[in-house]
Amino acid sequence: MVTEHRAVAALRVVLVVLFVVLIGFQTFSLPGQFAHMAQESPEHAYLRWPLTAVTVFWVLCVQVVIVSTWQLLNMVKNDRIFTEASLKWVDLIVWAIGAAWVVLVGVFLYVGFKADDPGGPILLFLLTMGVTVLGLLMVVMRALLRQATTLRTDMEAVI
């Protein structure tokens, strides 16, 4: 249990650091990067706002996953993970990953039809497959959590 406690504490630190870095990335780095791109490549300036919106949306999806994970860690700490309330946080994670996936597929298709070099589309394909695996993994984990919650509820009813 000491190892679990340390792992939860370490994960919390990493989640806080990641969340803070993502806020900076979302508010300063991404808009600044695309503004600079528009200045350096005027022929691609029309992509500034769509790219900013898409990437900020993806960062927002990651932030939703971070907040949901934090809430699930609180439930683990308080031994309330096997409750219906935890399923709502897992659902939020699944929906955030699903929303990011839909936008990623749209970007993949857009870039794939416009590209003259296969590097970008291949990279986007690999990212799409990675997010697909992550999303499906979360769906399976949700099913396992539901089964464990049902078993625990049934056992409590018997006792």
Contact assessment for residue 131 and residue 100, using Cβ atoms and an 8 Å cutoff: yes
CB environment 33-63: b (16+ within 10 A), e (fewer):
ebeebbeeeeeeeeebeebbebbbebbebbb
- Number of helices followed by number of strands (H, E) in the chain: 5, 0
Q: What is the pLDDT of residue 133?
A: 98
pLDDT of residue 2 exceeding 60, the answer is yes
Question: How many CB atoms neighbour CB 115 within 10 A?
Answer: 13
Q: What is the pLDDT of residue 14?
A: 97
Query: 42-91: per-residue pLDDT in tens?
Result: 998 999 999 999 999 999 999 999 999 999 999 998 889 999 999 999 99
What residue has token string 């939703």? 64
Question: CA nearest 64: which of 98, 25, 109?
Answer: 98
